Chain A
Amino acid sequence: MNKAVILENQKAFCALGPLDKTITSLLEGRSGIVAGPACGIPVAYAPFPDISLRHLPATASALGHDLIPSHVDTSRTLFIYAAAKGDLSAIDPIPPVVAETRVSPILDEQAAAIPHWMNIAPAFTMVISCACASGAVALDVARDLLSRKQFSCAVIMGFDIISGFVVSGFHALNALSPEAARPFDSRRNGLTLGDCAAAAVLSCRKPRPGDMIIAGAASSNDANHRTGPSRTGEGLYRAARDALSDAAMEPSHIGTVKVHGTATNYNDAMEAKAICRLFGHDIPPCYGVKGAIGHTSGAGSLLEVILASHFIRRRRVPPTVGFEIRGVDEQVSISAASQCVTRTTALCLSAGFGGMNAAVVLQECDSE
């Protein structure tokens, strides 16, 4: 097999704890969502178990510790900070007290400081901020640049946390559910916000059996509405179609679909249309995680790709926590219980405000 972009080591924290614990908990159908109020607003939310993780410097330091495997060439490292809003504690109008030291509210300035906290020395730093698709777009960017040999490896860090700023905004848009989000369920009533910090190392090399390959990626825009998704799902369909084309795959090659699944009426309906249009009547098992860890914004789309890679390795997909009765017209096969899968490929879907859509195709290498 020729060289490919490999998802090397990863680390993450979310409402279910660190990455290993999160994977196990998701497969067991557990949720990290707690009852409100969140920042004074009566809605459920999914906070870090240890609230001190909302302090960006400490969390970046924890993610950076032992992150880069020794076999990865760090001679020319690309660092990408993927976030929708990052750390807004310095300007939060409803501030929770997390730490005395506050960081700049500007993503560019956070990105300039993070490599120091992570103890890495990048040759080049980028900030990718494509709303809730930021992490997935960052993977697309890193894949492109590593394939073109512009860098020897890439470190992507995503960080988006619950703040009064974000909770009040989504509440003003009537987008939050009073109870835990129920993706694709007939009783879904809005999204649940969550905390997330995630990091991944990528390199471009000849894959070995068991390696996880970023096989394809693409993005698109709905050109429809600032905050609402396309009613037809065309934008997400285009991103998924183009990601498959980038991976030189057909829809029939895909083993599982990680849905965006915010649990808003419009998102899930749009996504069901896009999935049906792409796969026709042969839809692989689909699952979402936002009913368990909340909607973790731009960083979440990185975390969800990381999680998808681990579910491929374990040949299982988790139950979609909160989902019981299908609440979309299309016959999308949303997992209500953990189930086995055989194919070692996954399509990961993300969408965000501004009509942003992104898709990433993962493939486990099964031969030299």
Chain B
Amino acid sequence: MYISGCSAIHHTGIMSSARGFKPWDSDQSGVSDIRRDQVLATPHLSFGKLCLPDKLSFSAAALALEESGKPIDENTAILLASPFGSFSTDMRYRQSVLDGFPSPALFSATLPSSPVAEIAIHFGIKGPNRVYAGGNSPWLSAIDAAKSYFDKKTTGAALVICTWCIENDSVTNESIVPERSISPSSFALHLTSQKPARSTCASLELGLSHSNETAEDGSAQERLLELIKATIARKPVRLPFCVKGFNGYFSVTF
């Protein structure tokens, strides 16, 4: 399969295959301050109203699709890995109920699958959907699902988005917030089964073998960032990994 576009939004800035790397502006506090013009050239009326999990996943997807040209294949699969799901939005909706005014707009975003709706509607994508809202290495399941769709010819394109988003503020920072707090970030890969006409794409190989490994490694963000950095820098790389149940590797070539 091929990486037709990719992006990463994390604490140091925004990077994508279309725009390269840009650190956060001096007036931005980081990921939670992301602006529409930093991810999308065209207007998006509700961008500013999106909850952070939706905004991050949408932004990463928009950046990864930027080089694809129009129209985007409407049968593209959307595969979202989101270990914290909509927890931040759940807490905001809960507060609206406690305040006596349950917000229908917030409630409609209290699902881990909420970002998929935003992406599908904006880009007119009607292909298969899967949302991996946790478990062991959901990022790996999402990329493996894209490979399976390609092998079975279900679709020829897939958008894999991996988002870690749990806000740490007065609404969500109650005793129930898990201790494994993690800085918000989002990564996206636009994968295709056929080599795109552009010469800038990378070839991605995913190798998997079964293992009895029981430990979950916690470096998924670093690994995905390395994969995306190598793709943008056009630098061949082989990234081995070992997660619960599987040994494997990513190989990026040009």
Residues of B within 8 A of A81 (CB): 134-135
Interface check A126, CB cutoff 8 A? yes
- The residue of chain A having its C-beta at the shortest distance from the C-beta of B111 within the complex is A131
Query: Given A126-B141, A227-B108, A354 and B114 touching (CB < 8 A)?
Result: yes
Inter-chain CA distance A130–B86, complex, in Å, is 12
In this assembly, does A335 line the interface, its C-beta being within 8 Å of a C-beta of chain B?
Answer: no
Query: Which listed segment binds B: A101-109, A176-184, A323-331?
Result: A101-109
- Say how far A93's CB is from chain B's closest CB, in angstroms: 4
> A127-B138, A144-B145, A235-B126 given as contacts; is B111 within 8 A of A108 (CB)?
no
Within 8 A of A (CB), among B126-163: 126-136, 138, 141, 145, 148, 154
Q: Is B102 within 8 A of A124, CB to CB?
A: no
Chain B residues whose C-beta falls within 8 Å of the C-beta of A171 in the assembled complex = 102
In the complex, the answer to whether A129 meets B131 with C-beta atoms within 8 Å is yes
B117 at the interface (CB under 8 A from A): yes
A106 to B90: give the CA distance in the assembly, Å.
Answer: 10
Q: In chain B between 104 and 127, which residues have their CB closer than 8 angstroms to a CB of chain A?
A: 104, 107-114, 116-118, 120-121, 123-127
> B208: which A residues are within 8 A, CB to CB?
150
Smallest beta-carbon distance B141→chain A, Å: 6
Residues of chain B with a CB closer than 8 A to A76's CB: 210, 245
Q: In the bound complex, do residue B130 and residue A219 qualify as a contact, i.e. CB atoms below 8 Å apart?
A: yes
Contacts A107-B85, A107-B134, A242-B154 given: A356-B102 contact, CB under 8 Å? Answer: no
Report the minimum CB–CB distance from A349 to chain B (whole Å): 15
Asked if A220 and B127 sit within 8 Å, CB to CB, the answer is: yes
- Let me know if B242 is at the binding interface, CB within 8 A: no
A123-154 interface bits toward B, Cβ cutoff 8 Å, 1 = contact, 0 = none: 11111111100000100110010001010000
CB–CB B120/A221 < 8 A? yes
- B128: chain A residues within 8 A (beta carbon): 218-220, 242
How far, in Å, is B101 (CB) from chain A's closest CB?
A: 9
**Quick one: closest B residue to A78, CB to CB?**
B245
Give the A-B contact count at a CB cut-off of 8 A.
Answer: 180
Q: Which residues of A contact B108 (CB under 8 A)?
A: 169, 173, 226-227, 353
Q: A108-B134, A127-B133, A128-B131 are in contact. Are A223 and B90 (CB under 8 A)?
A: no
Interface pick from B61-69, B91-99, B196-204: B91-99
A242 CA / B245 CA spacing, docked (Å)? 30
- Chain B interface category by residue count: 35 or more
Q: Chain A: which residue is nearest B87 at the CB level?
A: A106
CB closest residue in chain B, given A125:
B135
- Decide if A173 touches B104 in the complex (CB within 8 Å): yes
User: CA–CA, A179 to B108, complex, Å?
Assistant: 23
Least CB distance from B68 to A in Å reads 16
Of the listed residues B87, B121, B126, the one surrounded by the most CB atoms of chain A closer than 10 A to its CB is B126
Chain B positions within 8 Å of A356 at CB level: 113, 116, 129
Report the Cα distance A166→B186, complex, angstroms: 27
Q: Determine the interface band of chain A, counting residues with CB < 8 A from chain B.
A: 35 or more
Cα distance A309–B116 when bound, in Å? 30
- The smallest beta-carbon distance between B27 and chain A, in angstroms, is 31
In the bound complex, CA of A105 to CA of B210 (Å): 31
Task: Let me know if A144 and B84 touch, CB within 8 A.
Answer: no
User: In the complex, what residues of B have CB within 8 A of residue A108's CB?
Assistant: 83-85, 133-135
Docked complex Cα distance between A165 and B111 (Å)? 12
With A127-B135, A130-B130, A165-B94 as given contacts, are A144 and B148 in contact (CB-CB < 8 Å)? yes
Nearest-CB distance from A111 to chain B (Å)? 5
Mark the stretch among A59-67, A83-91, A261-269, A299-307 that contacts chain B. Answer: A83-91
Tell whether, in the assembled complex, residue A128 and residue B133 are in contact, meaning their CB atoms are under 8 Å apart.
Answer: yes
- The reply to whether the CB of A340 lies closer than 8 angstroms to some CB of chain B is no
Complex CA gap A89/B113 in Å reads 21
Which listed residue, B74, B97, B212, touches A164 by the CB 8 Å rule?
A: B97
Query: Chain A residues near B118 (CB, 8 Å)?
Result: 226
Decide if A288 is an interface residue (CB 8 Å cutoff): no
Task: Pick from A76, A85, A164 the residue with the most CB of B within 10 Å.
Answer: A85
Set B74, B117, B135, B212: member contacting A226, Cβ < 8 A: B117
CA distance A360 to B207 in the complex (A): 29
Q: Within residues 155 to 207 of chain A, which ones have a CB less than 8 A from any CB in chain B?
A: 164-165, 168-173
The contact of A355 among B93, B121, B245, by CB within 8 Å, is: B121
Instruction: Say whether B145 contacts A141, CB under 8 Å.
Output: yes
Complex CA distance for A321 and B114, rounded to whole angstroms: 31
CB-nearest residue of chain A to B134: A108
Q: Are B112 and A137 in contact (CB under 8 A)?
A: no
For B90, the chain A residues whose CB sits under 8 A away are 88, 91, 105, 165
Residues in B whose Cβ lies below 8 Å from that of A322? none
B97–A90 touching, CB < 8 Å: no
How many angstroms from the CA of A234 to the CA of B90 in the assembled complex? Answer: 30
B148 pairs with A220, CB closer than 8 A:
no
Q: B124 — which chain A residues lie within 8 A by C-beta?
A: 223
Known: A129-B131, A227-B108. 17 other contacts (CB 8 A): A85-B110, A91-B91, A91-B94, A93-B97, A108-B133, A109-B178, A128-B132, A140-B130, A150-B208, A150-B210, A165-B90, A165-B94, A219-B129, A220-B129, A223-B125, A234-B126, A355-B120
Ranked 8 nearest A-B pairs via Cβ: A108-B134, A354-B117, A169-B107, A127-B134, A129-B133, A93-B97, A124-B245, A126-B135
